[in-house]
Amino acid sequence: MVTLDGIIFSLQRTGGISVCFQEFFKRVVAVDLDAELLLFDKSAETRVGGSSKHIRQCRHRFLERYRDCEVSPAATLFHSSYYRVPVSNKIPVVTTVHDFTYERFNSGIKRWVHSSQKFNAIKKASAIICVSDHTRKDLLELLPEIEAEKVHVIHNGVGSSFFPIEVESNYPTHRPYVLFVGSRVFYKNFRAVAESLENLTDLEIVCVGGGDFSEDELKFLEYKVPGRYRHEGDVSEKKLNQLYNQAQCLLYPSSYEGFGIPVLEAMSAGCPVVALNSSSIPEVAGDAALLLDSADPDLLVAAIEQTADTAFRREIRQKGFLQAQLFSWDQSFIQTLKVYEEVTGCAFPYRPL
């Protein structure tokens, strides 16, 4: 029996890692895999869906996220959603590595705690899955003692909830806007986005996820784009698809990403993408996005204006549709099961949904 450690669902309500494991678990249920998902939060069961047959609610111990995971004696493989290992050393471990954000941008005790747990999970793993070639490269640079043959690249996918829609007349009407999805920590360059819109007075900034605006953010936004910003909060996939469809473009000028799922979501919805030519983004976006050398506001302005051009918009949308089709959660699932087979020597039933 495969044991899936669902600790990530206790750590975040939304985010790329949650999406990754939700999509994987959907397919576990669909093929009736001999597997159980361990959850440590009652509310998480509604979010992940699935039947109780494949879910086991566990006692949430003090500092659960940092502790080795207690598993059933029937477990034959352990795969954690966030860098944990089982109490038993006899069970093969598969570890998924999403990025090295902490190692690149944090320091002190916060980085030490995170990296210690992550590196321990990587070193104890029988096989390691990286979500991009760039993440694999980072891993082998930071941990050169890891055997390269153990490290598999399995890209994330894009959900079927993202597709072009007709903008209905009864949708709420606002002025044209650019969309910003996810965290607004410093390396995401959100302030550069606000600065770029300072003189594009016909556009708003619409944010999704990342928590409410802080007091400092509100002061900065009111100074740069007074009255031209709004926060939609954590929205459903249906609502997010609507926002992608109505946006002039997705602005995703992050300096570092392990993968960048919003890039594919936007492309699938026909929303032009403006991002940086850095980390994993070129690997995901291909030639279907405007990739900039830096988050300089002047470069962002020029790119935003380019996405308003009808001919360019038509071309970049078509490229985006084709690029997004290269990434599939079904393929991610199948490739992950092949890693399981390699580790255990057992055959697993898999088929696309």
Residue 163 lies in a domain: no
How far from 275 is each of 20, 114, 189, 304, CA to CA, in Å? 21, 27, 11, 11
CATH number at residue 150: 3.40.50.2000
189 and 333 share a domain? no
Each of the 353 residues of the chain gets a pLDDT tens digit; together they read 999 999 999 998 888 899 999 999 999 999 999 999 999 988 888 888 766 789 999 999 999 999 999 999 999 999 999 999 999 888 999 999 999 999 999 999 999 999 999 999 999 999 999 999 999 999 999 999 999 999 999 999 999 999 999 865 444 556 899 999 999 999 999 999 999 999 999 999 999 999 999 999 999 999 999 999 999 999 999 999 999 999 999 999 999 999 999 999 999 999 999 999 999 999 999 999 999 999 999 999 999 999 999 999 999 999 999 999 999 999 999 999 999 999 999 888 766 55
**Residue 165 falls inside a structural domain:** no
Residue 351 lies in a domain: no
Ramachandran angles phi, psi of 190, nearest 5°: -65, -35
Q: Tell me the residue range of the domain where 278 lies.
A: 177-324
Are 7 and 152 members of one domain?
yes
**Per residue in 304-319, is it b (16+ CB within 10 Å) or e — as a string?**
beebeeeeebeebbeb
Looking at the fold, whether 334 and 316 belong to one and the same domain comes out as: no
| The model's pTM | 0.94
Task: Clarify whether residues 141 and 222 are in a common domain.
Answer: no
Q: What is the pLDDT of residue 351?
A: 62
Let me know whether 131 and 198 are in one domain.
no
Task: Indicate if 136 and 274 belong to the same structural domain.
Answer: no
The token pair that represents 113 in the structure block: 């705690």
Q: Which two tokens stand for residue 344?
A: 């255990």
Domain membership of residue 122 (yes or no) is yes
Based on the structure, what is the number of domains in the chain? 2
* Judgement on whether residues 96 and 220 belong to the same structural domain of the protein: no
On whether both 332 and 316 belong to a single domain, the answer is no
* Token code pair at residue 201: 């007075």
Residues 256 and 232 in one domain: yes
Q: Closest Cα partner for 203 from 193, 189, 218?
A: 193
Q: Look at residue 337 and tell me if it is in a domain.
A: yes
Q: 219: which residues sit within 8 A by CB, 6+ positions away?
A: none
The DSSP letter of residue 69 is B
Q: What is the pLDDT of residue 315?
A: 98
For 124-163, give one letter per residue: b (16+ CB within 10 A) or e.
ebbbbbbbbebbbbbbeeebeebeeebbbbbbbbbbeebe
Whether residue 319 is contained in a domain is answered as yes
Note whether residue 353 is domain-resident: no
Count of CB atoms situated within 10 Å of the CB of 198: 14
* 203 and 117 in a common domain: no
Closest CA to 323 of 277, 278, 273: 273
Residue 102 confidence (pLDDT): 94
3-state class (DSSP) for residue 96: strand
Same domain membership, residue 254 and residue 210: yes
Query: Would you say residue 216 lies in a domain?
Result: yes
| Cβ 60 vs Cβ 40: under 8 Å | yes
What's residue 51's pLDDT? Answer: 63
- Same domain membership, residue 215 and residue 246: yes
The pLDDT of residue 172: 53
